[in-house]
C-alpha cells in the first residue's frame, strides 16, 4: 500500500509525482517503457513557450504562463541546460498582420506583457535569413534540455521517498472500498489511496480500465502527428522563428537545439493510430511552408528528423480544445486525477500542472 500511484513517467507524471512527494506523500510512478520520457516528452520541440496563443482564462494560458516562470526558476536552481533565445512570430504577407494584432491583445490578457512589434528592417538586422512584413518579438520564449529536466524531476522524486518503476504497464485499476488496486498484466500488484492518470496518448485507454469511472467523462482522442526536418550545417537563425499559427498547430517553425542547430517542424497530419513513422512524401508541403519566411532555404540541407504525436481532444475542423484535468468534482471518483489532451504547451506547463494535481489530491 502506498499513498499515491502515478501512471506514466513522461514529464507530466514525473512533475506530478515530484510535487506529491515534496508534499509528503509516498509516491510510485509506474512506467510501461524501459526508460522515462520515451513518448511525447522526448518527441517535441523543447520550447519554453511564453503563453501567447491560448484563449485567456484557459488552462493552457494559465498553466503555460505560470509554468514558464516556474520552469526558468527550476532550471536555474538545478543547473538544467536552457536558453532564453527569444522568438519572432512573423507575418509574411499583409493579410497576416491582423493575426499579429490578435496575438498581441491576447498575450496581454494572458499576462504576457513583454511582446514587441518589429518592422521588416528590425527583423532583417536580427535575422537576415528571415522574410516578413511585420513581426512580434517574444523575449521570454526559450529552449530547454527536456531530458535533463525529466532526470532532475526524477531525482527530486527519489530524494523524497518516491520511486519510478519501469517496464510495467498498468492494465486495469479495481476499486477496493476507498482504495485503488493496480493490476499489471491482469495481476493485482499494489494498492493506493490516490491515483494520477498521466498516461499521455494512452490516458483514455487507461481511463476505460479504471473501475467505477463514468465512461461519459472520458473525452475522445484524436492523434495528430508532427514531423521535423533538421538543417545540416550552421544555423542561419539566432532565435526561434514561427509563422502565424494554423487552426490546429503552430505552423512549421524554426527551433534551435542547445547546440545551436536548427530544425523545422512540426507539421500536422491526422493519423488513425499511434505510428511514429516519417512520411517523406510531405517534403514539398514542408519546404513551401518554410520558404514563406525563409526564401533562401537550400532543400538539400534538410534531413528527416524525429516525429511526435499530439494527443488532441478536438478533431479536424473542430475548435481547439483546452487541457482537461479531472478530479473528483468532474468524475465522482475520490482520489483520482485524470489528465487528457496534454499537448503543447504541456512541457512548459508541467510544473504548474503538477501543482494543480497536488492541490486536487490534497483535499483527500
Ligand atoms: C510534436 C510535438 C511538439 C511539442 N512541442 C512542445 C514544446 O515545444 N513545448 C511545450 O511546452 N510542449 C510541447 N509539446 C507538448 C509536450 O511534449 C507534452 O505536453 C508533454 O510531453 C506530455 O507529457 P506526458 O507526460 O503527458 O506524456 P508522455 O510523455 O507521452 O508520457 C506518458 C507516459 O505514460 C506511459 N504509459 C502510458 N500508458 C501506460 C500504462 N498503462 N502503464 C504505465 N505507463 C503508461 C507511456 O509509456 C509514457 O511514457 C509538444 C508535443 C508534440 C507532440
Same domain, 289 and 158: no
In angstroms, what is the span from residue 107 Cα to ligand 1's centroid?
25
| Cell numbers representing residue 128 in the block | 537576415
Query: Is 254 in contact with 262 (CB distance < 8 Å)?
Result: yes
Residue range of the domain that includes 256: 87-139+221-312
Within 289-341, strands assigned E span: 302-312, 324-326, 336-340
The answer to whether 356 touches 325, Cβ cutoff 8 Å, is yes
**Among 292, 312, 332, where does a domain finish?**
312
Q: How many domains does the chain have?
A: 2
What's 122's domain CATH number? 3.30.9.10
Q: Does 17 lie in the same domain as 36?
A: yes
Task: Kindly state whether residues 122 and 268 are assigned to the same domain.
Answer: yes
Size of the chain in residues = 364
**How far is the C-alpha of 237 from the C-alpha of 328, rounded, in Å?**
47
Asked if residue 312 lies in contact with residue 290, where contact means CB atoms within 8 angstroms, the answer is no
Grid coordinates standing for 283? 517534403
Are 204 and 284 in the same domain? no
- 215 with 198, same domain: the answer is yes
Q: Are the C-beta atoms of residues 194 and 27 closer than 8 Å to each other?
A: no
pLDDT score for 138: 98
Q: What is the CA(316)–ligand 1 centre distance, in A?
A: 21
Confidence at residue 103, expressed as pLDDT on a 0 to 100 scale:
95
Indicate if ligand 1 lies below 6 Å from the C-beta of 75: no
What gap in Å lies between CA 362 and CA 337, rounded to an integer? 11
Do 183 and 173 meet the contact criterion of CB atoms below 8 Å apart?
Answer: yes
CA-228 nearest atom, ligand 1: 1
Cα 267 from Cα 51, distance rounded (Å) = 20
Give 118's strand partners.
135
Pocket test of ligand 1: the residue of 5, 74, 347, 350 to mutate, having most ligand atoms within 8 Å of its CB, is 347
CATH number of the structural domain spanning residue 157: 3.50.50.60
**Is the same domain home to 325 and 299?**
no
Domain-located, residue 55? no
Distance, CA of 22 to CA of 11 (rounded, Å) = 16
Shared domain check, 158 and 202: yes
The answer to whether 210 and 65 are in contact (CB under 8 A) is no
Ramachandran assignment for 260, one of left (phi > 0), alpha (psi -120 to 50 degrees), beta (any other): left
Is 279 found in the same domain as 243?
A: yes
User: Which three cell numbers mark 254?
Assistant: 524554426
Tell whether the torsion through CA atoms of 122, 123, 124 and 126 is positive or negative.
positive
The tens-digit pLDDT sequence of the chain (364 residues) is 999 999 999 999 999 999 999 999 999 999 999 999 999 999 999 999 999 999 999 999 999 999 999 999 999 999 999 999 999 999 999 999 999 999 999 999 999 999 999 999 999 999 999 999 999 999 999 999 999 999 999 999 999 999 999 999 999 999 998 899 999 998 989 999 999 999 999 999 999 999 999 999 999 999 999 999 999 999 999 999 999 987 767 789 999 999 999 999 999 999 999 999 999 999 999 899 999 999 999 999 999 999 999 999 999 999 999 999 999 999 999 999 999 999 999 999 999 999 999 999 986 5
Q: Is residue 243, in this structure, part of any structural domain at all?
A: yes
CA distances (Å), origin 173, targets 26, 192, 213 = 19, 10, 10
Instruction: Answer yes or no: pTM beyond 0.75.
Output: yes
Residue whose CB lies within 8 A of the most ligand 1 atoms, among 6, 29, 36, 39, for a mutation test? 39
Q: Which three cell numbers stand for residue 305?
A: 528528423
Closest atom of ligand 1 to 198 CA is: 26
Does residue 78 lie in a domain region? no
> Is the distance from CB of 335 to CB of 364 less than 8 angstroms?
yes
For residues 115 and 189, state if they share a domain.
no
Q: Ligand 1 mean position to 42 CA, how many Å?
A: 7
| C-alpha cell at position 250 | 503552430
Q: Is there a domain that residue 272 lies in? A: yes
Residue 328 located in a structural domain: yes
* Extended strands (E) in 293-335: 302-312, 324-326
- Say whether both 33 and 156 belong to one domain: yes
Residue 61 included in any domain: no
308 & 234 share domain: yes
Alpha carbon distance 319, 173 (integer Å): 33
Considering the domain architecture, whether residues 160 and 294 belong to the same structural domain is answered as no
In-domain check, residue 349: yes
Chain mean position to CA 128: 30
Residue 179 lies in a domain: yes
Ligand 1 centroid–CA 25 distance in Å is 24
Query: Which residue's alpha carbon is at the smallest distance from atom 26 of ligand 1?
Result: 200
Amino acid at each position: 500500500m502506498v499513498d499515491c500511484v502515478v501512471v506514466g513517467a513522461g514529464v507530466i507524471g514525473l512533475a506530478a509525482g515530484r510535487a506529491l512527494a515534496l508534499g509528503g506523500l509516498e509516491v510510485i510512478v509506474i512506467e510501461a517503457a524501459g526508460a522515462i520520457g520515451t513518448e511525447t516528452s522526448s518527441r517535441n520541440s523543447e520550447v519554453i513557450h511564453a503563453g501567447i496563443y491560448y484563449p485567456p482564462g484557459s488552462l493552457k494560458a494559465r498553466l503555460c504562463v505560470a509554468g514558464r516562470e516556474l520552469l526558468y526558476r527550476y532550471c536555474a536552481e538545478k543547473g538544467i541546460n536552457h536558453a532564453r533565445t527569444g522568438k519572432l512570430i512573423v507575418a509574411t504577407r499583409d493579410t497576416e498582420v491582423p493575426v499579429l494584432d490578435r496575438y498581441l491583445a491576447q498575450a496581454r490578457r494572458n499576462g504576457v506583457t513583454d511582446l514587441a512589434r518589429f518592422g521588416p528592417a528590425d527583423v532583417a538586422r536580427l535575422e537576415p535569413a528571415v522574410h516578413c512584413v511585420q513581426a512580434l518579438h517574444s523575449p521570454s520564449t526559450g529552449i530547454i534540455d527536456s531530458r535533463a529536466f525529466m532526470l532532475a524531476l526524477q531525482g527530486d522524486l527519489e530524494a523524497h521517498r518516491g520511486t519510478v518503476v519501469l517496464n510495467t504497464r498498468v492494465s486495469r485499476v479495481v476499486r477496493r472500498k476507498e482504495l485503488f488496486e493496480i493490476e499489471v498484466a491482469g495481476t493485482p500488484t499494489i494498492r493506493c489511496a490516490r491515483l494520477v492518470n498521466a498516461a499521455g496518448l494512452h490516458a483514455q485507454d487507461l481511463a476505460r480500465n479504471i473501475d467505477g469511472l463514468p465512461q461519459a467523462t472520458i473525452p475522445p482522442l484524436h492523434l495528430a502527428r508532427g514531423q521535423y526536418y533538421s538543417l545540416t550545417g550552421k544555423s542561419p537563425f539566432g532565435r526561434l522563428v514561427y509563422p502565424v499559427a494554423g487552426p490546429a498547430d503552430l505552423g512549421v517553425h524554426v527551433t534551435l537545439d542547445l547546440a545551436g542547430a536548427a530544425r523545422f517542424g512540426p507539421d500536422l497530419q491526422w493519423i488513425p493510430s499511434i505510428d511514429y513513422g516519417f512520411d517523406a512524401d510531405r517534403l514539398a508541403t514542408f519546404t513551401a511552408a518554410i520558404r514563406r519566411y525563409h526564401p533562401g532555404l537550400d532543400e538539400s540541407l534538410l534531413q528527416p528528423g524525429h516525429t511526435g504525436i499530439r494527443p488532441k481532444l478536438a478533431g479536424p475542423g473542430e475548435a481547439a480544445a483546452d487541457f482537461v484535468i479531472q478530479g473528483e468534482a468532474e468524475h465522482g471518483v475520490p482520489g483520482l486525477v485524470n489528465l487528457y489532451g496534454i499537448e503543447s504547451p504541456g512541457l512548459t506547463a508541467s510544473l504548474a500542472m503538477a501543482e494543480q494535481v497536488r492541490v486536487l489530491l490534497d483535499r483527500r
